[in-house]
Amino acid sequence: MIINTSDKKFFQKKSLINYNGSLYDLSIPRVMGILNVTPDSFYDGGRYSHVGQAVERVGQMLNEGADIIDVGACSTRPGAAVPDAGDELNRLLPVIAEIKRQYPDAILSVDTFRASVVDALVGKFGCLIVNDISSGGIDSEMFRTVASLNVPYILMHMRGTPETMQNNTSYKNVTKEVVKELSANLDKLYSLGLNDVIIDPGFGFAKTIDQNYELFKHLDAFRFFEIPLLVGVSRKSMLYKFLGGTPADALNATTVLNTLALQAGANILRVHDVKPAVEAVAIVHKLKEFAQ
C-alpha cells in the first residue's frame, strides 16, 4: 500500500472542508442532490436538459433539504455517448450561471473528469467542488489543476473508463485493492498541496454486483483515511439488477443502503431522491443521541 506514514494528514480526523474561503462542516452528514443535464443518464436522462427544467429541479432539491447540488453533463453509464469537452462545457455553463443567479448561496459540485472543464468553470464562477469519477485517471492534468485552483476534490475509485470499466473487475480482495489504489492517488494530491479531499469507493464502477456488496460491507475500512467519505448508490444496478426491476423501482433499496452507509460513517450521500435521504440522515442522527 502506497502510504507515507510520516504524513500526519493521514491520521488527523477531518470533518471540515474549505469551500470558497469558508469552512464547511461534514461532521453531520450532508445530502448531495444529483442534477444530470444529459440526454442519456441511466435514470433521469433528458429530464433536465433545458435550463429552466434544470434550475426548477435545483429549487425542488434545495427545498427538500439538499446541502450540495452535483451538476453533471456527461453520462458515465456503460455504453453512453461521451460528449467532447466543448459540448460538455456548453451544457454546463448556462445551467450553472442560472443556478448561481437564482440560488447564489447554493453549494455546487461539478461532475466531470476533464481538467479543462474544471478550469473554465472555476475561472468563471469561482469555487466548485470537483467530482471526478476517474481519480485523475482519464485526464492527467486533473490533479495539478484542482491543486492549483485549491478547490475541494472528490476522489472516486474506478478502473479504466466508463466504456471499459466493467472489463476491469479482477480483484483478489476488492476492499484492500480499492483502498490501496485510492491511497496512491491521495498521496499524489497531498504532495501537490491539496488538502480538501473526499473519498468515494466508486460503487458500480469497475465492480461486479457481488464486489459492490463486499465493498459496502467493509465501508468501515475507509475510516482509515480519516477524511470525509461519500457514498453514491442511488438507484444503481447493484440494487435493481439484484432485486429485479429497473432504476425506477430502486428507491426503497437505495434508502436501505443509504441508512447503512450513514451508520458506517458516510459524510455525504449522493442521491437522485433528496427527501428520503434527508429523512435517513435525521433518523440516524437522532438515534446517535441515545448511543451509550
For residue 215, give Cα distances in angstroms to 132, 138, 218, 232, 259.
20, 23, 5, 13, 16
Mean pLDDT of all residues belonging to the chain: 89
What is the per-residue pLDDT for 170?
A: 85
In a domain, 189, yes or no: yes
Active site residues: 236, 270
In a domain, 265, yes or no: yes
pTM (2 d.p.): 0.90
In a domain, 3, yes or no: no
pLDDT digits (tens, 9 = 90+) for 205-260: 989 999 999 999 999 999 889 999 999 999 999 999 999 999 999 999 999 999 99
In a domain, 1, yes or no: no
Is residue 1 predicted with pLDDT exceeding 60?
no
Specify the 3-state DSSP secondary structure of 69.
Answer: strand
Question: By residue range, what is the domain housing residue 67?
Answer: 8-288
* 35-41 mean pLDDT: 76
In a domain, 89, yes or no: yes
In a domain, 44, yes or no: yes
CATH number for position 258: 3.20.20.20
In a domain, 138, yes or no: yes
Count of domains in the chain? 1
In a domain, 148, yes or no: yes
- Beta-bridged to residue 72, according to DSSP, are 36, 111
